[in-house]
Chains A and B, each alone.
Chain A
Amino acid sequence: MATHRNCDGHLRRDFIQLGLRGAMGMGLGMCDLLRLKAAAENAGGGKPVNCIMIWLDGGPSHFETFDPKPDAPADIRGVFKTVPTKVAGVHFSEPVTKLAGVFDKFTVVRSICHKDPNHGGGNHYMMTGAPTPVPVGCGAFVTFHPSMGSMVSHTRGVRGGIPPYMATPSNTRSGGPNFLGGEHAPFVVSGYPNSDAFRVSDVVLPGGIAEGRMQGRRALRGALDRMKRFNDRVTEDPAVEFDRFYEQGFDLVTSARAQEAFDIGKEDVKVRERYGRTDMGQRFLLARRLVEVGVSWVTVNWGGWDHHGGLADAYKGDMLKTLDQGVAALIEDLAERGMLETTLVLLLGEFGRTPKINPGGGRDHWPHAMSVLMAGAGIPGGQIVGATDARGYYAAEDVYRPEDFAASVYTKMGIDPHQKLETAVGRPVSLVNDGRLIRELFV
């Protein structure tokens, strides 16, 4: 196969680039760094960028979404037609028709790949930018390295009592903080936001407690909490830090703006309809509301994308409708509200799927090619980055690795991907090991 390339193989163009960079003595020349730094700062017009990451656990098919292969044989092409997008000459697959209609607002990278065909390892690699040091199984939930959300929490800290990193409805497999420490685990918003009874817990007053009663409790606590505090910093009195969190916590539950954001019932009915009246659609909407009120990173965890059989039926069904409608609505809504410049939107899973449809009508694990949607934070709209070969086997042009993806996301978030961190045993590790930026995202 002429275009058989995988993550080991750099293309000729890459060699030239590497050679040039080599001559400058580092991964990137100084000019590049300065330019990219400026680009990151400008991404949000000076404001910090927040991120909504929609995680499709199991691995969505690139063929039936953003990288259709209409000219490939039928056992690769699949049953779906292609649809034109907002950009002339670019086609998506039928299940993402609505996204095709807003393609002017996002980039698709078709050429990210790695070599871990297991869910556990693939999750870890894409979620942290680091491969697992030992092989891990398919059912595995593992962390050896901090997730991007945890690192954002670690960098930004808590502002206004709002946990900086949230996940809904559950944490992802490798979305934990690892050595950054438990306080950087995501705050999990569980439950079913499409239900009228839905409430975000812990950040809002408990059911049955009105604000007046909470104020009374607050005053009572103030009067009864008489354990002496030692404010001198050298004493390292943990109760002093705890008080600070209580102050922030009280501010949060009494902040009308924050409380309204947590109450999805306050959203305009039309907007709720637009995202789709499903729990998942409403989670995308909730993510927007959380980011609006100051959460730095929201991961929407959506499992069940591991279609080893019956893929066509699944992609014809509600799952894709929910995804297509919800994500398109999210991107448009963010753009209309002027939030897209400061909100990075990511849509991906741990890998793509095998080109040949198996006898069960499914596609299996395929890390050699995957499509990743990236929008906002200065990322150009209507752009396709990279390409797979004619049959969708391998990322073949402008090949990027998970490290490159993570380095790019961190840079967009204003975090230096090359910084050194210390593990629990004091060992220095790079946040991202030799990640190159996906240049097309920084123009």
Chain B
Amino acid sequence: MIRFSRLPVYAVGLCLGGAGLGDAVAGLVAEPAELRLRVGERVSFLITEKGADGFERDVTEVVAVKMAGVAGLEGVGAVRAGQVGEGVMEVDLEGQRLAVPVVVGPAAERVPTFAGDVLPVLGKAGCSAAACHARADGQNGFRLSVFSFDPKSDYHQIVRGARGRRVFPSDPGESLLLLKASGMVPHEGGERLAKESDGWKVLRDWIGTGMVYAGEREPTLERLEVIPAERRYRKGSVQRLLVRAHYGDGTVRDVTALSGFYSNDKQVATVSEDGRVVVEQVSGQAVVVARYMGKVGGAQVVVPAERELGAERYEGLVVRNFIDRLAYGRFRALGLLPSGECSDAEFLRRASLDVLGILPTAEEARQFLADGDPEKRRKAVARLLEHPAYADHWAAKFADLFRPNPDRVGVKGVFILDQWLRESFRRNQRWDEFVREVVLAQGNTHRFGPAVVYRDRREPAELTTMFSQLFLGVRLDCAKCHHHPNEKWSQEDFYRMAAFFAPLRQKGGGISAPISGGHETFWGGGGGGVLNHPVTGERMMPQPPDGPAAVVGEGQDPREALVAWMLDPGNPFFAKAIANRVWSHFFGKGIVDPVDDFRLSNPATHPELLEALAEHLRAEKYDLKALMRTIMESELYQLSSEPNETNAGDVRSFSRYYRRRMGAEMMADAVSDVTGVPSEYPGLPAGGRAVQAWTYKIESRTMDAFGRPNSSSDCPCERNMKPAISQALHLMNADGLQAKLTSTAEGATVQRLAGGGMTPREIVSELYLICYGRLPVEEETAVAAAQFGEGAEARRRAVEDVLWALINSAEFVFNH
């Protein structure tokens, strides 16, 4: 295999929404524009037709290609060099013609190496997949590392394993490795490399040339480039991808045939093993990731709706702040129009649930609906953000991510950390300060909440996983054991991050604390505590992912350097990660979703918007309430959840509000509030609310049914918000709810309404305000009022049944 010495010039830099390849006239374009290759080498190319409609179409598979002299066609979209010289590849598409120069140089005098040539072949053929020879115990005695995370061991396995019988240097083609791989002798995995195929030849030549592990000056692979990097497609179209590897010495290599491919959204686009993308019938965005030797490159696939909407459709839209402006730009590219604005009642209910986790009271709703102030929504946002219920609601949200298993850290530790979280949100602690306190935590687990995090996550590796996921939005977990399959993260990245926590010291009773067990004290600094790479044994020096090596002074706590890097204004992850998390709280989904999984193969739906939100948050000095205010003031947040003719299929771009069911604590408190009968919780003071529950061990069937997270489960997880049968059954039939309906306590809603002097119609209005924050329409009033029969008992039954029906309806269960 051979490297180019010069980079051919490609037409790249396609931009969204524009006409594609610059403003050049319609016609055919070849990529690369000139084919440079060496004798024996195979190189892929693309032929693209620029349409008058602004779309580019991959016509590689349909053009007629004539090749003369120095090289020959091989399959579709590839040529193989025959002899040194120059020639021309002639391309014809129904009369449109293009001539592509072909330059063939002499075969390179280069010895193939294990690291540079063999591993890619084994990877592409699937040998080093976890299902095959990279199983924990290998396959049939032949064991490779998953995604080649341990190349030295792999080399040893092939060259010396099984007493050297896998390779046969004096007749390389007869090596067991090749006989098996080509299926010439029985191989459970079947034929992975056809005899005489390029991959087969690489292995043969490598065996025949002394089985070199690595070349003396093997250039380092710096990045992958995928062509086309971003393009708009018609539904049903096909696009072949080219993958080019760029090396440190400036050489470029066509690695299309050796790359793996992965589409992040198979509804929008699928990709075959050889990099052929098929655009499906759904409009949206997808990214196809190519990976090769631990590097990844992406191709953005943008599929607009068939009907282009004219610019005038966007002109009249309400723009309240930068969020709307940036979102509408994306909507246009995707052919989406935002839904209409939600009603005042919907807005107040939505905002109250999102900021406070509680429903507006009937009185609050009544006042808000009657208020004629055009600024009333903005004022409501400001009011809600200052409401005392804010702290518990947000602390409970973050507790999902931090709350440790009481069986691991002791009940007291769980409580101390819980109280710290509540206090932090009570005083609206800035996010950078919050993170600083957690990451730099030291002290006694019975006194200082964040220290409990260290009691829970005892190993540097556990802290690495948790902190990178929570604070950076990056899942490094895979890289603990092997190179991340779809990302650039390597084991080095993981253990360099872990090295920040290696010197941490601990004193006191450790894990397996009994329920009311003793305490521990953690502190950093003072040196000591090194961390070695689990495979190479090399000592890992602290270095954040994608960041510079940390400079840690003598006796200094390396965590200081980690925090300094996180909070640096140039940090690529930190501000975006929290902005995205807060966003998802208000919209039900992140701009990157899942919110803690930022990666090339999981791109933001609105990258410019996420960038702007992060910038805004930095400008506001990480005041989360400031960000929330901006989000809630946007028109985007105030859209209706009812789709229009363009956005029924939009589930990622926020062109309508997405319905979400109420969370466990919210539902438990809402049922107490609308019935006027509080629940009593063991472990909470009288009057305690579900949102104040500080451990999952506080019993509540309602919270269990509605999926509160169980902190005995080991992960900092987003909670599961899917509807479940147990929820419907619980709301319908729970004895606890029935008891709240039949309660004769003074404050009980049914007791109050049935007992007073209100007319049935007035009672119905009151119930609608209590449950939905709106007044009923006439049809609803009529149906509900008709339930009321003669006599006190019938009246009471009617109130019970109407309230039951309202609670059991979607308008109650969902935030909409």
The interface of chain A, by Cβ under 8 A from chain B, is 22-23, 25-26, 118, 120, 134-144, 158, 161, 163, 173, 176, 178-179, 181-183, 185, 187-188, 199, 201-209, 213, 216-217, 220-221, 223-230, 232, 234-239, 241-243, 245-246, 248-250, 252-253, 423-428, 433-434
Task: Give Cα A424 to B725, complex, Å.
Answer: 22
Task: Give Cα A201 to B733, complex, Å.
Answer: 7
Given the complex, which residues of A lie within 8 Å of B512, measured CB to CB? 118, 135-140
Given the complex, which residues of B lie within 8 Å of A161, measured CB to CB? 725, 729
Q: Which of B511, B651, B704 interacts with A234 by CB under 8 Å?
A: B651
- Whether B783 and A224, one on each chain, are in contact in the complex, defined by CB atoms closer than 8 angstroms, is yes
Q: Which of B459, B712, B810 interacts with A141 by CB under 8 Å?
A: B712
* Interface pairs (26), CB distance under 8 Å: A137-B407, A142-B408, A143-B710, A179-B717, A188-B704, A201-B701, A202-B732, A202-B733, A203-B729, A206-B733, A208-B742, A221-B804, A221-B805, A224-B805, A225-B808, A227-B811, A229-B810, A232-B648, A234-B651, A238-B661, A242-B810, A242-B813, A245-B724, A246-B732, A425-B475, A426-B475
Q: Is the CB of B734 closer than 8 A to any CB of chain A?
A: yes
Number of interface residues of B (CB under 8 A): 80
Q: Is the CB of B282 closer than 8 A to any CB of chain A?
A: yes
- Whether B659 and A238, one on each chain, are in contact in the complex, defined by CB atoms closer than 8 angstroms, is yes
Kindly report which residue of chain B lies nearest to residue A140, judged by CB atoms: B407
Given the complex, which residues of B lie within 8 Å of A423, measured CB to CB? 715
Given the complex, which residues of A lie within 8 Å of B136, measured CB to CB? 433-434
**How close is A250's CB to chain B, nearest CB, in angstroms?**
8
Known: A182-B707, A202-B734. A427 touches B477 (CB 8 A): yes
Residues 704-741 of chain B, each 1 if its beta carbon lies under 8 Å from chain A, else 0: 11010110111101111011111111101111011000
- Whether B728 and A224, one on each chain, are in contact in the complex, defined by CB atoms closer than 8 angstroms, is no
Given the complex, which residues of A lie within 8 Å of B478, measured CB to CB? 425, 427
Q: Is the CB of B646 closer than 8 A to any CB of chain A?
A: no
Task: Give Cα A37 to B357, complex, Å.
Answer: 50
Given the complex, which residues of B lie within 8 Å of A433, measured CB to CB? 136
Given the complex, which residues of B lie within 8 Å of A204, measured CB to CB? 733
Task: Give Cα A136 to B513, complex, Å.
Answer: 10
Given the complex, which residues of B lie within 8 Å of A232, measured CB to CB? 648-649
Q: Which of B141, B649, B713 interacts with A176 by CB under 8 Å?
A: B713
Q: Which of B139, B459, B734 interacts with A25 by CB under 8 Å?
A: B139
Given the complex, which residues of B lie within 8 Å of A220, measured CB to CB? 783-784, 787, 801-802, 804-805
Kindly report which residue of chain A lies nearest to residue B515, judged by CB atoms: A139
- Whether A202 and B705, one on each chain, are in contact in the complex, defined by CB atoms closer than 8 angstroms, is yes
New A-B pairs, 13, CB < 8 Å, besides A182-B720, A183-B720: A137-B514, A139-B512, A139-B514, A141-B407, A176-B713, A182-B709, A206-B733, A206-B734, A220-B787, A224-B806, A235-B651, A238-B723, A246-B728
- Whether B725 and A426, one on each chain, are in contact in the complex, defined by CB atoms closer than 8 angstroms, is no
Q: Which residues 617-665 of B sit at the A interface, judged by CB distance below 8 A?
A: 642-643, 648-649, 651, 658-661
- Whether B648 and A245, one on each chain, are in contact in the complex, defined by CB atoms closer than 8 angstroms, is no
Kindly report which residue of chain A lies nearest to residue B741, judged by CB atoms: A206
**How close is A226's CB to chain B, nearest CB, in angstroms?**
7
Task: Give Cα A26 to B475, complex, Å.
Answer: 32
Given the complex, which residues of B lie within 8 Å of A242, measured CB to CB? 661, 723, 727-728, 810, 813-814
Task: Give Cα A25 to B186, complex, Å.
Answer: 11
Given the complex, which residues of A lie within 8 Å of B726, measured CB to CB? 163, 183, 187, 202
- Whether A178 and B805, one on each chain, are in contact in the complex, defined by CB atoms closer than 8 angstroms, is no
Kindly report which residue of chain B lies nearest to residue A30, judged by CB atoms: B188
Known: A202-B734, A207-B738. A185 touches B651 (CB 8 A): no
Known: A183-B722, A202-B734. A139 touches B814 (CB 8 A): no
Kindly report which residue of chain A lies nearest to residue B804, judged by CB atoms: A217
**How close is B627's CB to chain A, nearest CB, in angstroms?**
26
Q: Which residues 436-476 of B sit at the A interface, judged by CB distance below 8 A?
A: 458-459, 462, 469, 475
Given the complex, which residues of A lie within 8 Å of B651, measured CB to CB? 234-236
Task: Give Cα A230 to B476, complex, Å.
Answer: 38
Known: A182-B719, A228-B642, A246-B728. A213 touches B801 (CB 8 A): yes
Q: Is the CB of B597 closer than 8 A to any CB of chain A?
A: yes
**How close is A354's CB to chain B, nearest CB, in angstroms?**
19
Given the complex, which residues of A lie within 8 Å of B459, measured CB to CB? 134
Given the complex, which residues of A lie within 8 Å of B140, measured CB to CB? 22-23, 25
**How close is B17's CB to chain A, nearest CB, in angstroms?**
24
Kindly report which residue of chain A lies nearest to residue B742, judged by CB atoms: A208
Task: Give Cα A143 to B709, complex, Å.
Answer: 12
Given the complex, which residues of A lie within 8 Å of B717, measured CB to CB? 179, 424
**How close is A144's CB to chain B, nearest CB, in angstroms?**
5
